[in-house]
């Protein structure tokens, strides 16, 4: 689709997702060659705000820059999109063809500065090559990550209570964060002494203005403000075993492409030593309290019963279930599996 002056309106999409790519084919080099192809070679008009830079992986289309491209296409502000190479657009077959179809339906064409991919069969081949290269990159990355973990390095976000060391002697190992480690002990102590739920504990931590991991990283929570503890954050601190044992595990889950994650055999786990923060006695008390809370939790309860989950049969030792007649709300009773 062309405008009145027969000059195509072009957008330029630049994507660089890693430091290695920045060394080899960085955004400046991509921009120069792509701009030359769009303007000098093909005579397209390119506005400055239609030059989109992105820094996310090409394995998905859920990227800020790509969302901007799709928005321009929907608003009919562009006629064609220029890429340095095909793999700068997508590295996944499904996302490539789905987005190609969507853009074609909106009258927007795809062009590649350094590749002649007008023939569909040629495009299909290059899409497969891009996807295969992504798999190789992923395999190399995972291999390097496993080697680093086996060397005792922490490969992941820092957990609450620790810092990732930058010292040359123990680079990438975890060291104790004194202030946060005291908060970890406080969280366990409050949970065990007060016997409250994680939801109430999270609210109490907020009232006490105990900083979260988000707060210690000097990030702003525009929606809820500082010191907001979620149940998930509290649960991770209460349940993670390495706070007491000093042994964390990686490579516990396998994530096959296109399938649900599944646990790996224990012999494939990789163990990493970390400094313990709480005692084993404290950890065991916390786990016992968690079991009690789970046993007596009032989840999705339609009615309140005085002795719910607290009565057992004196003869068969089975737990009694609380019941109520639908036609008589006040007629509450308890029954076993085969009797009332």
pLDDT digits (tens, 9 = 90+) for 281-308: 999 999 999 998 887 776 656 667 777 7
Strand ranges (E), 258-308: 262-263, 270-273
Q: Who has greater pLDDT, 321 or 37?
A: 37
What is the per-residue pLDDT across 22-38, written as a single tens digit (0 to 9) for each?
456 688 888 999 999 99
Please count the CA atoms within 13 angstroms of the CA of 301 that sit on its side-chain side. 14
- The residue-averaged pLDDT of 253-264 equals 83
| Alpha-carbon gap, residue 301 to 179, rounded angstroms | 40
Residue 195 has pLDDT above 90, yes or no: no
- The residue-averaged pLDDT of 260-275 equals 90
- The residue-averaged pLDDT of 53-60 equals 85
pLDDT band at 265 (very low <50, low <70, confident <90, very high): very high
184: Cα separation from own chain's centroid: 23
Q: Return the pLDDT at 20.
A: 47
Reported residue count of the chain is 340
- The residue-averaged pLDDT of 101-112 equals 92
Q: Return the pLDDT at 224.
A: 72
Q: Return the pLDDT at 1.
A: 43
CA–CA distances in Å: residue 125 to residues 97, 99, 120, 131: 12, 17, 9, 10
């Amino acid at each position: 689709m062309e405008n009145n002056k027969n000059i195509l309106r072009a957008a330029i999409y630049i994507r660089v997702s890693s430091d290695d790519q920045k060394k080899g084919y960085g955004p400046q080099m991509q921009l120069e060659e792509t701009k030359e192809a769009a303007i000098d070679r093909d005579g397209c008009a390119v506005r400055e705000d239609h030059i989109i830079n992105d820094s996310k992986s090409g394995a998905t289309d859920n990227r800020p820059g790509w969302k901007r491209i799709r928005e321009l296409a929907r608003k009919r502000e562009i006629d064609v999109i220029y890429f340095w190479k095909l793999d700068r657009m997508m590295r996944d077959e499904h996302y490539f063809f789905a987005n190609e179809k969507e853009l074609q339906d909106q009258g927007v064409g795809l062009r590649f500065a350094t590749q002649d991919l007008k023939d569909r069969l040629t495009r299909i081949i290059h899409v497969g090559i891009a996807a295969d290269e992504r798999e190789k990159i992923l395999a190399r990355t995972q291999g390097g990550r496993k080697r680093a973990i086996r060397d005792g390095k922490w490969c992941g976000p820092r957990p609450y209570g620790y810092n990732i060391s930058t010292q040359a002697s123990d680079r990438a190992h975890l060291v104790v964060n004194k202030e946060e480690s005291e908060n970890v002990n406080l969280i366990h102590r409050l949970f065990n002494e007060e016997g409250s739920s994680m939801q109430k504990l999270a609210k109490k931590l907020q009232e006490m203005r105990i900083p979260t991991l988000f707060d210690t990283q000097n990030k702003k929570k525009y929606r809820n403000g500082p010191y907001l503890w979620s149940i998930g954050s509290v649960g991770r601190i209460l349940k993670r075993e390495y706070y007491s044992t000093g042994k964390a595990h990686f490579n516990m889950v396998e994530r096959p492409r296109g399938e649900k994650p599944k646990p790996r055999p224990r012999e494939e786990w990789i163990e990493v030593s970390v400094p313990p923060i709480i005692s084993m006695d404290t950890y065991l008390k916390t786990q016992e309290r968690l079991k009690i809370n789970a046993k007596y939790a009032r989840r999705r309860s339609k009615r309140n019963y005085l002795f719910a989950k607290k009565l057992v049969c004196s003869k068969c030792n089975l737990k009694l279930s609380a019941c109520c007649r639908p036609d008589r709300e006040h007629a509450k009773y308890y029954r076993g599996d085969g009797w009332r």
